[in-house]
Chain A
């Protein structure tokens, strides 16, 4: 990740931890957020979309789910669409 990506990734990680109540130590940038990973569900994805929209003005409603796979994929999408 470049500097910008690292900054966004760190911010997304702290948002996930704070708003979805995930212990920071469980969150590395590669861990799968849904299903067998952290176990997030559709309600959590709405919260992620809302957080990213309000922080970066990037609308992720209807975006294919592979972009929600982990913090790295979220970061890439956000940086590309900022």
Chain B
């Protein structure tokens, strides 16, 4: 049954750093003054590049953050400001209901460059992944709830605001710090140079449209439930109303020229916010300054607002702070909120008198805010972000609560299909066969393989697959199998009903690393236009949406190895909150020579055969597992086979140094307790656990300690890493798939299992009477995810 969600989400703290300021006040004052932060770049060698401008941050204060990547430094700076601005007394907060979600496009790419150029230092390795960003912020502010990052390239800064509100509305959390961060770096500079997407002059959105100017920075926003804000007597800036998130399903770098995907996101945000299009007074546009973006966005804005709104102002603050990639959405959300609350609109700078004459001809009734700010009474404002991979996000803030139309249903969510790419072969049938025959991994490093057989099976043509790196190929093949196995065919007029959450721990780090190696050797001007699109974390989800025409909710989440399982939790929430009718939840991580070097250097890979719970180190592996999820109504209407019901989930984070898992037992216990509570069952009702131990003593010990406390020593502990190795996010989702295949009987009546008595013993468990099972996963830094599955 659907019911209205009445939970208000409000903004109570802001933080900002970019090329025109090191805090909100400075960034805001300079934006209103039309000050540019664009200059000749200093941090990247742009010699011999056709363009050499950038919008870099100058802030000596960043040096106080030691041992983290520059993107994290920027994020910490903005987050600390937002945290202080919100006046949160952490000693009075329930840390488990306080989360952090941060967006980033290129994450720790400065550290990847440092590693490649300056002697491959071990200390750079844990700074490379986007995952580290939210972890460091969480530890700094004392947040122990849902901690994750969004990797949707240039829309990554907007989506965390939306996700935080969804989780608050779901009752999972009370408060979040959300935002985004990206640092100026060689990889994106070389990549956009190769694409000829950089402007030789300062970027000129909706005007000359000769290309972008890259920037850097971070935006941070404290979002909490109105009740929580009231209870702690917080200053409230505004309400977050609703967001719209969609995928173009069109091209990996270029937006759809007809703006269909953008317009779906904008219209969804307006409709779910319960406001009328005529009430939107200001849009902080994506407005990158490329012809392709600006033409599509110009068309979208005119199509939606012409005829209904003759009082709309639109500006692009990128004209001053550059395109800050994964930080852009967060920075621009802060600007939109400041505009709303101060009734002042920052301009788009860079218009000459001639330009103004051209603008007057094409602007229609929309005020594109050339050159100078203006004061204007605002009630509702919108911020738009669009990205590589065809990702679109639009969000609305209001001075009033509005009439938000968010709803939730209480229908069971079922698992109805699987896609598996793994080192023991591809396809669910193959996996079942291998598990039944007792497949094991004997090498310390194993890799999945995707080839022509897979492409032919799912009609993937060469013109498509040749573009993809292995990370994306694995995701596309497992995604296509999941759709096929669930019996889904996507109809054009319902394409927005189908969404996906991609989970990955390391994303395309291999491709980024190789791109960096190439430009280190050949110069910034020699970046590969062909490879650059694959350096963003959401490329895999972008390709999958292009191949399948899935145009709905599309987000890539990344927080270490638990990302695969947390993608399922995210997708579940989207179904419950009626943002999609059908979702894919995936886990994908890659093994390669690069990953072997990085994990090997960290001392995590076994010398010979890895032994789970045997203190050997892990068998480094890779793969992609995709799970098809849908609500009861949709599944019943189409007669879908139900493998298992998702009965509950929990996510938690231990406040510990990033990269450490030891001593974080309480956090795993909290995640399990949340999952059990949501499922409405006791620990004693769990028939088996699908665990995460991988042979690394620190990981295995946490698991042994917690299960020893919560469960009977006779409880069977199954672990998919026995069959496929430590494929990180892929193994997390595979645990769910394996558990569902067990509950549905596909895997037979018995399976090998571990038993955590005084000693860990191996044996065989009768699986035929399982009713409730628990699956768990862990990430560096003490983030855990637990999911309860029930026999369908």
- Taking CB atoms and an 8 Å cut-off, the chain A residues in 41-69 that contact chain B are 41-44, 46-47, 50, 54
Which residues from A are CB-within-8-Å of B463? 38-40
- Which residues B212-257 have CB closer than 8 A to chain A? 251, 253-254
In chain A, positions 20-36 with a C-beta closer than 8 Å to chain B are: 20-23, 26
The verdict on B462 contacting chain A, using a C-beta distance below 8 Å, is yes
CA distance A54 to B466 in the complex (A): 23
Contacts of B462 in A (CB 8 A): 22-23, 26, 38-39
B528 beta carbon closer than 8 Å to chain A: yes
A26 to B194, CA, bound (A): 26
Please give the number of chain A residues whose Cβ is less than 8 angstroms from any Cβ of chain B in the complex: 17
Is B466's CB under 8 angstroms from A43's CB?
no
Which of A21, A43, A54 is in CB contact (< 8 Å) with B195?
A43
Minimum CB–CB distance from B592 to chain A (whole Å) comes to 16
Contact B526 A43 (CB under 8 A): no
A20 and B461 contacting across the interface, CB-CB below 8 Å: no
- The answer to whether B530 and A43 touch across the interface, beta carbons within 8 angstroms, is yes
Q: Which residues of the other chain, A, contact B254 by a CB distance below 8 angstroms?
A: 42
Residue B533 CB within 8 A of the other chain: yes
Residues of A within 8 A of B530 (CB): 19-21, 43-44, 47
A19 and B528 form a contact (CB under 8 A): yes
User: A39-B461, A46-B194, A46-B196 in contact; A22/B466 too (CB < 8 A)?
Assistant: yes
Chain B residues lying within 8 Å of A47, measured Cβ to Cβ, are: 194, 528-530
Most chain A CB atoms below 10 A, which of B194, B253, B463: B463
Report the interface size class on chain B. 10 to 19
507-556 of chain B: CB within 8 A of chain A: 526, 528-530, 533
Say whether B461 contacts A50, CB under 8 Å.
no
Cβ < 8 Å to A, chain B residues 588-615 = none
Q: Which residues of B contact A39 (CB under 8 A)?
A: 461-464
Docked-complex contact B467 and A50, CB < 8 angstroms: no
Chain B window 455-470, contacts with chain A (Cβ cutoff 8 Å), 1 for yes, 0 for no: 0000001111011000
- Report the minimal beta-carbon distance from A67 to chain B, rounded to whole angstroms: 18
From A23, A38, A46, name the one whose CB has the most chain B CB atoms within 10 angstroms: A46
Chain A nearest CB from B329 CB (Å) reads: 24
The residues in B between 422 and 469 inclusive whose CB is less than 8 angstroms from any CB of A are 461-464, 466-467
Which of A21, A23, A40 has its CB near the most chain B CB atoms (within 10 A)?
A21
* Chain B residues whose C-beta falls within 8 Å of the C-beta of A21 in the assembled complex: 466-467, 530
Bound form: Cα–Cα A26–B466 in Å: 12
Complex contact B529–A43 (CB within 8 A): yes
Task: Quote the shortest CB–CB distance from A34 to chain B (angstroms).
Answer: 10
Residues 194-207 of chain B, each 1 if its beta carbon lies under 8 Å from chain A, else 0? 11100000000000
Q: Least Cβ distance of B514 to chain A in Å?
A: 13
Query: Given the complex, which residues of B lie within 8 Å of A20, measured CB to CB?
Result: 466, 530
Chain A: minimal CB distance from B450 (Å): 13
Interface residues of B in 163-206 (CB under 8 A from A): 194-196
**Contacts of B236-284 to chain A: CB distance below 8 A:** 251, 253-254
Whether the pair A50, B466 counts as a contact (CB closer than 8 A) is no
Q: A47 to B529: give the CA distance in the assembly, Å.
A: 6
Q: Shortest CB–CB separation between residue A57 and chain B, in angstroms?
A: 14
Measured between beta carbons, the chain B residues less than 8 angstroms from A50 are 194, 526, 528-529
In the bound complex, residues from chain A placing their C-beta under 8 Å from that of B194 are: 46-47, 50
**Minimum Cβ distance to chain A for residue B190 (Å):** 11
A-B pairs, 8 with minimum CB distance: A39-B463, A46-B529, A21-B466, A47-B530, A47-B529, A43-B529, A22-B466, A20-B530
Q: List 25 A-B contacts (CB under 8 A).
A: A19-B530, A20-B466, A20-B530, A21-B466, A21-B530, A22-B466, A23-B466, A26-B462, A38-B462, A38-B463, A39-B461, A39-B462, A40-B463, A41-B251, A42-B254, A43-B195, A43-B529, A43-B530, A44-B530, A46-B194, A46-B195, A46-B196, A47-B530, A50-B194, A50-B526
8 further interface pairs, Cβ-Cβ under 8 Å (given A43-B529, A50-B194, A50-B526): A19-B530, A21-B467, A22-B462, A23-B466, A39-B463, A43-B195, A47-B528, A54-B526
